[in-house]
Amino acid sequence: MVRRIVIVGGGSAGWLTAGLIAADHQGSSLHVTLIESPDIAPIGVGEGTWPSMRDTLRRIGVSEADFFRECDASFKQGSRFNRWVNGADNDYYFHPFVLPQGYGEVNLPEQWQAQHPNIPFADLVSYQPHLCVNGRAPKQVVTPEFSSVANYGYHLDAGKFGAFLRKHCLEKLGVHYVPDNVVGIASHDNGDIAALQTQTHGALEGELFIDCTGMQSLLLGKHYEVPFISQKHVLYNDSALAVQIPYPDDNYPIASQTSSTAQSAGWIWDIGLPTRRGVGHVYSSAHIGDDQAEAELRRYITATSGPQDIPQPRKLSFNPGYRERFWHRNCVAIGLSAGFIEPLEASALALVEMSAAMVSDELPATRAAMDIVAQRFNEAFSYRWERVIDFLKLHYVLSQRRDSDYWRDNTATVPERLNDLLTLWRHRAPSRNDFNRIEEVFPSASYQYVLYGMGFRSEFMNPQPRQAALADGYFREAAALTHKMLGALPDNRELINHIKRHGLQKI
Ligand SMILES: Cc1cc2nc3c(=O)[nH]c(=O)nc-3n(C[C@H](O)[C@H](O)[C@H](O)COP(=O)(O)OP(=O)(O)OC[C@H]3O[C@@H](n4cnc5c(N)ncnc54)[C@H](O)[C@@H]3O)c2cc1C
């Protein structure tokens, strides 16, 4: 029987996994232990999330208002990409979280190109870019917690998020916490892990071990030596410089989207929290040196109302890629231990949520069932990592920028599946048929937003005139909703301040 689950690692992955499993199985005989090294700090970045985080937090059982208060959280309504298409000052587009009006009902891209080719696709089919540009929150004071008027995820302080989840896991969910270093692994004869040896708490036995040890990948990578599939030949970024900067004043607007601004050999993320901005330059060390990357970061900060003097940015290095398998014997890796590509589109925590949810949903009752679940898990997540690669690469291959080797090189390495899709999309829009799994990482709507946002145009071979009136109705609906929501939704900072002071109505 699988009764004891031992999680190693107290970063966002470890605590999200512990929270989900413990909440789902509360009251059962399942026992969840989390071991966290007091000597190795969590990575401390990872501040952009998807709308899925609302479901995850609700499932774990926290209060959304407490989350806003304790994690310095703000709303995220999508991403804004600056200078990705041609590098010009006025070059930007949105990838909002709300699906296009009429998505799935009508061929919106075809009618957009026929009727309104000069309006950015997302601006025509969705009200959300307009909410972002106008600094509006995605809900009202009376909207209950975790509910939305406009779909949203969060920006959060990664360090505070871990502490917040830990408190909830220990106080409300009965997770057993062991602050210690794992220094050895004891195995059964068949190769399963029997116990983890800690420095001061002895051996901790279990039936299932979850590796959330970050880039060390202590159990899956180091112990089991499951091969790492590098993606550096496709996605070149392997370094980041991260820094936290203050606002010019306490009432400065909080952006409700992540901004991503393309640079000569990478891009800069800009995430607005209530008390500060988190800004970082992600770049390819093969294309630019650290000094030049830092100079670009500093220039960006001064150009966007940041201070002249900033703390020394923190350097992070990573090898983009993922493991050949994620669940091996009685060990499953979740988080950076399973893989990491780069922060573009913030898919890492979403994959953590999906992984933890699948472990919890499919929790094998016995060792005999575990290999079957493991095989399904590996198949599902290999597919998901491949889709992450395709979707991230889409941003790079469509860029018209040719101002550096980085941008030129990026067009030379296109994964075969993405190439096939681009061939299809020359004459039709991305559709649900291209991504037809139940839980796709990115829906075809996301591909439409990025594809057409990046300046791609399809040559539709068989225009369907009958769709014109239908599409026109949806375009008008999006415009009407924009008007209505701009009139009804509060300022982003105003709502966050209200939530912190007064809380939110429970559902
Ligand atoms: C530059 C950058 C930007 C990012 N931005 C985003 C973003 O915007 N959105 C997003 O979704 N993701 C982002 N990510 C990814 C995100 O940071 C991670 O997915 C997330 O923080 C989860 O990390 P983790 O818990 O797997 O690892 P970590 O935070 O590294 O935690 C590892 C844990 O393992 C413990 N540990 C290690 N060895 C031992 C041992 N021997 N014994 C006991 N404990 C041990 C450590 O103490 C630590 O608690 C970003 C990553 C990078 C590098």
Instruction: Report the alpha-carbon distance of residue 156 to residue 148 in Å, rounded.
Output: 18
Q: What does each of the 507 residues of the chain score in pLDDT, given as a tens digit? A: 899 999 999 999 999 999 999 999 999 999 999 999 999 999 999 999 999 999 999 999 999 999 999 999 999 999 999 999 999 999 999 999 999 999 999 999 999 999 999 999 999 999 999 999 999 999 999 999 999 999 999 999 999 999 999 999 999 999 999 999 999 999 999 999 999 999 999 999 999 999 999 999 999 999 999 999 999 999 999 999 999 999 999 999 999 999 999 999 999 999 999 999 999 999 999 999 999 999 999 999 999 999 999 999 999 999 999 999 999 999 999 999 999 999 999 999 999 999 999 999 999 999 999 999 999 999 999 999 999 999 999 999 999 999 999 999 999 999 999 999 999 999 999 999 999 888 899 999 999 999 999 999 999 987 788 899 999 999 999 999 999 999 999 999 999 999 999 999 887
Ligand 1 atom 38: residue of nearest CA: 213
13: CA distance to ligand 1 center in Å? 7
Cα(174) to centroid(ligand 1), Å = 23
Beta bridge partners of 240: 282, 316
Instruction: From 12, 180, 318, give the residue whose CB has the most ligand 1 atoms within 8 Å, as the site to mutate.
Output: 12
Q: Which of 336, 345, 384, 442 for mutating ligand 1's site (highest number of atoms within 8 Å of CB)?
A: 336
Separation between Cα atoms, residue 95 and residue 347, nearest integer Å:
14
**Could you give the C-alpha distances from 282 to 96, 111, 144, in angstroms and in order?**
22, 36, 36
Pairing of strands 228-230, 31-36: unpaired
What's the CA gap between 224 and 378, in Å, rounded? Answer: 15
Calculate helix-pair angle for 416-425, 367-397, nearest 10 degrees: 60
Six-digit token pair at 365? 């009752």
Measured CA to CA, the distance from residue 169 to residue 175 in angstroms comes to: 6
Mutate to test the pocket of ligand 1, among 20, 37, 238, 284 (most ligand atoms within 8 A of CB): 37
Torsion angle defined by CA atoms of residues 164, 166, 168 and 174, in that order, rounded to the nearest 10 degrees: 180
Tell me, in angstroms, the distance from the centre of ligand 1 to residue 336's CA. Answer: 6
DSSP bridge partners of 382:
none
Instruction: Quote the CA–CA distance of 483 and 13 in Å, as a whole number.
Output: 40
Chain-centre distance for alpha carbon 98: 16
Distance between CA atoms of residues 319 and 337, nearest Å? 12
**Integer Cα distance of 319 and 102 in angstroms:** 40
Measured CA to CA, the distance from residue 217 to residue 226 in angstroms comes to 10
Is the CB of residue 454 less than 8 Å from the CB of residue 91?
no
Helices in 277-362 by DSSP H: which ranges? Answer: 290-303, 348-361
Place of tokens 């392997």: 238
What value does the CA radius of gyration of the chain take, rounded to a whole number of Å? 23
Q: HEC profile for 366-390?
A: CHHHHHHHHHHHHHHHHHHHHHHHH
> Does the global pTM surpass 0.75?
yes
Ligand 1 surroundings by CB, under 6 angstroms: 8-14, 35-37, 40, 42-43, 45-49, 158, 181-182, 212-214, 216, 218, 240, 242, 280, 316, 318, 335-337, 340, 343, 346, 348-349, 352
For every residue of 39-80, DSSP letters joined together read SS-------B--THHHHHHHHHT--HHHHHHHHT-EEE-EEE
Please name the residue whose Cα sits nearest to atom 17 of ligand 1: 46
Q: Which amino acid is at 303?
A: A
